[in-house]
Amino acid sequence: MLHLVESLYSHARNTLIWFIIYFVIQMIIWAAMAALILIYPQTLFILVAVFFVLLAALNIYLALIFCKFLYKLKKAKSAMTFK
């Protein structure tokens, strides 16, 4: 039982450490972006363009996942229908 508690504590501590590292890195990125936008106003347009390209890529990825799911669903339906 003590080993389980120690293991749980270890996992929780490691998770919290990674959360702290994530938020520190995120703060540095946001500060760097703010500085770049203040120094080079064109950076904002580049960031918006990159955002929309990433959004389009995500939509294509999700569409492919749904197509794959629908294909499997169609195969399952055709396997269950008896003609």
pLDDT 10s per residue in the chain (83 long)? 788 888 888 999 999 999 999 999 999 999 998 998 899 888 888 889 999 999 999 999 999 999 999 998 888 888 887 65
* Rg, C-alpha atoms of the chain: 23
- Whether 33 and 63 map to the same domain: the answer is no
Tokens matching residue 50: 């990159």
- Whether 49 and 23 map to the same domain: the answer is no
- Whether 24 and 48 map to the same domain: the answer is no
Report the domain count for the chain: 2
- Would you tell me the crossing angle of helices 42-80 and 2-39 to the nearest 10 degrees? 130
Are 43 and 36 in contact, with CB atoms under 8 Å apart?
yes
Which residues have CB under 8 Å from 36's CB, separation 6+?
43
Secondary structure tally for the chain: helices H, strands E? 2, 0
- Whether 28 and 62 map to the same domain: the answer is no
- Whether 22 and 47 map to the same domain: the answer is no
Q: Which domain holds residue 67?
A: 41-83
Report the predicted TM-score, pTM, of the whole model to 2 decimal places. Answer: 0.53
- Whether 31 and 1 map to the same domain: the answer is yes
